[in-house]
Amino acid sequence: MEGTIERHSLLQFGQLSKLSESSSELRNELGSAPEDCGEKEFILSQDFFCTPDYITPDNQNLMNGLDISQDYSPCPRSPVKLTTAKSKRCRQDSFTFNTSDSTWASKYKENDDDIDTDEIMEDKTERTGYVSRTAVALRSRVMPPPCLKNPYVMNESQTATDPFGYQRSKCASFLPASVGGDGLSRYLTDFHEIQQIGAGNFSRVFKVLKRIDGCLYAVKHSTRKLYLDSERSKAMMEVQALAALGFHENVVGYYNSWIENEQLYIQLELCDHTLSKKSSLRISEREILVIMHQIAKALQFVHEKGIAHLDVKPENIYIKNGVCKLGDFGCATRLDKSLPVEEGDARYMPQEILNENYEHLDKVDIFSLGVTVYELIRGSPLTESRNKSLNIKQGKLPLLPGHSLQLQQLLKTMMDRDPRRRPSARELMEHPMFDRIRC
Ligand SMILES: Nc1ncnc2c1ncn2[C@@H]1O[C@H](COP(=O)(O)OP(=O)(O)OP(=O)(O)O)[C@@H](O)[C@H]1O
Ligand SMILES: [Mg+2]
């Protein structure tokens, strides 16, 4: 049955492409759509909706009378589909969804039900056994998902032009939560999992091969099931921040995201390892300057987009081909305090944020970068030791033998108790100390 369906689907596509020259005829044949429906959406939907596995009896010989070269007839018509026009209506009403609308998921579910349940239920009751799970899943895939407002985007023109834009989906494409529940996993269909390369508090990260393009990526997925709208919205903020940021050579590349089986999946640029691996090795001052300069560049970019990272630390700085990339935007927030603040790892946080003073969130990142560099120079990971971390938080930096006074002085300013005295990312970038690595 499955092989037959595949063959028949191919034939249908063959027919549709031939018919595309006379698309208006095709539209008439297949039933009329409302005037304001997008051409592409209509045809796309039809491509999938008239797949025969919805409508053709199991025992029908699909090859009979279906010669692609001869037969120009449209997809077989489902008598049930003709009476259920609501599945073809434009869904512009769901395009203005706001993240704060806690009912989006349920609304989406309603729409989902509109299409998948009532129509299929009719199919099921009338012609039990004709509905394949593949067809249901395919249909889920072409349904336009609700568009969420991205709280990190200040205005459209602020989104950088991404030289790889044609490869990336800048708008996170969310699939209904039911995908995966029917046994068809987008993750497993699109990717071959190679190995686990990391884990966070609520996530796991895998090195994967994307089947269609043969390239390696990292896919991060939440380990917890995101049942509540509030949980989803919170998890999605990470991808919204990544998508709003766009491309920068020192920010981990973001490709796509989707929800499957109530879990959020994020497809990212694959990096070699994190900077925490380096914090156990002694590294030269020149190397330190390179790392500092690259992350300052990333922070300048992020801050100019009106975003604060709030979790800068060696584990969240990835290295790919010797280039540092800032990753893990799970704590990212807006500099203008219009979004909630969830501070990152307390070891790297300045005192003011622990006191809930959120006036200078960009300077929180500068402080954390200072602590990160201090940790690299020390050559051993910071412990939770209260005394030592308290000293650091008060700007009391121990002497760092073997390193230039200029670097030590700069670190001291970056970790100043008063956030206003810390340099901005731009000022840091322009510091004469980096002249040593610029030539
Ligand atoms: N793009 C990537 N390339 C290579 N390794 C990665 C990538 N993304 C994440 N990792 C690895 O996975 C680890 C965890 O990822 P990440 O920091 O994004 O999760 P987390 O935010 O700490 O998790 P959680 O938010 O659930 O606490 C990283 O420290 C790193 O080792
Ligand atoms: Mg992390």
Considering the chain, tell me which residue range(s) the CATH 1.10.510.10 domain(s) occupy.
Answer: 274-438
pLDDT of residue 195: 98
Dihedrals φ, ψ of 178, to 5°?
Answer: -75, -20
Q: Which ligand is nearest to the CA of 274?
A: 1
pLDDT of residue 91: 35
Q: How far is the CA of 329 from the centre of ligand 1 (A)?
A: 10
Two structure tokens written together for 313: 């630390």
> In the structure, what pLDDT confidence band is assigned to residue 44 with cuts at 50, 70 and 90?
very low
Q: How far is the CA of 198 from the centre of ligand 1 (A)?
A: 6
Higher pLDDT, 94 or 433: 433
- Kindly state if the Cβ of 191 falls inside 6 Å of ligand 1: no
Cα–chain center distance at 270: 14
**Is residue 166's pLDDT more than 60?**
no
pLDDT of residue 14: 42
Q: pTM, whole model, 2 decimals?
A: 0.67
Average pLDDT estimate for 412-428:
97
Domain boundaries 274-438, CATH class:
mainly alpha
pLDDT of residue 389: 64
Two structure tokens written together for 40: 């592409």
Least confident interval from 44-53, 176-185, 207-216, 363-372: 44-53
The one catalytic residue among 53, 123, 190, 311: 311
Mutate to test the pocket of ligand 1, among 310, 328, 329, 331 (most ligand atoms within 8 A of CB): 328
Alpha-carbon torsion (427, 430, 436, 439), positive or negative: positive
Considering the chain, tell me which residue range(s) the CATH 3.30.200.20 domain(s) occupy.
Answer: 186-268
Going by C-alpha positions, the residue among 143, 151, 114, 210 that lies closest to residue 332 is 151
**Is residue 299's pLDDT more than 80?**
yes
Q: How far is the CA of 64 from the centre of ligand 1 (A)?
A: 53
Over pLDDT 70: what percentage of the chain?
57
Residue with the two structure tokens 């009532």: 118
| 117/125 Cα distance (integer angstroms) | 12
Average pLDDT estimate for 147-168:
59
Active site residue 71: no
Average pLDDT estimate for 100-110:
39
**Is residue 294's pLDDT more than 60?**
yes
Domain 186-268 in CATH: superfamily?
Answer: Phosphorylase Kinase; domain 1 (3.30.200.20)
Residues in Cβ contact with 338 at an 8 Å cutoff, skipping those fewer than 6 apart: 151
